[in-house]
Amino acid sequence: MTGYLISGLRVASEIELAGAIPDTSPGETESAVSIRRGPVPQSLGDATASGPTWEMADGNFLLRVPRLARFLISAGRNITVEAEPGVAEREASAFVLGSAFGILLHQRGALVLHGSAVARDGRAVVICGASGQGKSTLAAALCHSGCSFVADDICVIGMNGHGRPLVLPDGRQLKLWEESIARLDLTQQRGDAVRENFEKYFVQPPDITQEAPALAAIYSLQADRPPLKTGIEELDLPDAMRRLEFEAYRPRLRGMIGAKPGAKPGAKSDMLAQSAAVLRHARVFRLTRPRGFKHMPDTVSLVRRHWDALGA
């Protein structure tokens, strides 16, 4: 078993998790999550909810990736993986750290955002947005400008003892397309491809935050298509609440799984309470910026100036 720190959780895995950084912290700590090889059923006989590639029943979630692997996620603690015949285990690991782990976090009742996070001076910002909006690329550019890396793609918000939101540190590398790597001059940090015949690669960030930084702001990334114009605009409380729900990792599944194990599918009370707790101390902004790498330095400067102006 190899140990990792994923989304603030100690993980022990029989499977090598591509793109994850092994946990080398001293001392023996009990793992919160176990990932193992094993038989996974084709379906759950007592499923209470289902979709084209998944089923859910009494604390178990079956995820099927056609022609690749099946994953059984149980009680927020265990992920069992069965690769299809002839499929390399490494190919399946990309889905362990993505969809499967995101579902496990929902089972644990975590507040999980689909975003990337960077930090400096003990304070973090989260950059959210739909797939393809450039979250990881902007996070990489901010790291290149002197920020520390916190998380990529799956971003978990926790609370300290005083009820203030924190971004839980993650032991995964950035995932960037070939063009982003070249434009940001990160070729020396490029690792293996995320998947075979896939031009997206793991990239080692220059500096990784080990402690959970305080959450200062959440930026929802948008392209500057009319009527939106380049700039940063704060969302009022109702819009900020809706935006947090929208920016959750796989929001539809989050609502169906429920915020706590055993909760009724579709329950939202805990989600609303989590969002309200976050918004007592952090603010949500719409970040509208032009597409294209030639504008990236201006976007990085805009974010850093705005971040500074937020204060402690």
- pLDDT tens, 267-302? 555 778 888 999 999 999 999 988 888 889 999 999
Asked if 118 and 143 touch (Cβ cutoff 8 Å), the reply is yes
**Residue 82: predicted pLDDT:** 94
**Is the separation of the CB atoms in 272 and 259 below 8 Å?**
no
Report if pTM > 0.75.
yes
pLDDT reported for residue 74: 94
> Given this model, what pLDDT does residue 312 score?
55
As a whole number of angstroms, the distance between CA 103 and CA 274 comes to 17
Given this model, what pLDDT does residue 303 score? Answer: 93
All structural domains of the chain, each given as residue ranges with its CATH number in brackets, are 2-108 (no CATH), 112-309 (3.40.50)
pLDDT at 97: 87
pLDDT mean over 92-99: 87
More confident of the two residues 269 and 125: 125
* Residues 217-230, mean pLDDT to the nearest whole number: 85
pLDDT of 245 > 50? The answer is yes
- pLDDT over threshold 60, residue 175: yes
Cα→Cα distances 249→37, 51, 72, 183, 187, Å: 25, 17, 18, 28, 29
Count of Cβ atoms closer than 10 Å to residue 30 Cβ? 6
The stretch 240-249 carries a mean pLDDT of 89
Q: Quote the pLDDT of residue 261.
A: 46
Give me the pLDDT at residue 227, please: 74
User: Distance between CA atoms of 1 and 11, rounded to whole angstroms?
Assistant: 9
292/72: higher pLDDT: 72
Q: What are phi and psi of 101, to 5 degrees?
A: -70, -35
**Backbone angles phi and psi of 291, in degrees to 5:** -80, 155
Average pLDDT, the chain: 86
214-223 and 283-289 as β-strands: parallel, antiparallel, unpaired? parallel
Mean pLDDT of 32-41: 93
pLDDT above 70 for 98: yes
The pLDDT of residue 266 = 45
The predicted structure's pLDDT at residue 195: 79
Mean pLDDT on 113-141: 90
Mean pLDDT, range 23-35, rounded to an integer:
76
Q: Is the pLDDT of residue 222 over 60?
A: yes
Sorting pLDDT into bands at 50, 70 and 90, what band is 116? very high
Burial class (CB in 10 A: 0-12, 13-18, 19+), 165: buried
The arithmetic mean of pLDDT across residues 118-134, rounded, is 89
pLDDT at 30 exceeding the cut of 90: no
For the segment 168-190, the average pLDDT, to the nearest whole number, is 87
pLDDT for residue 26:
58
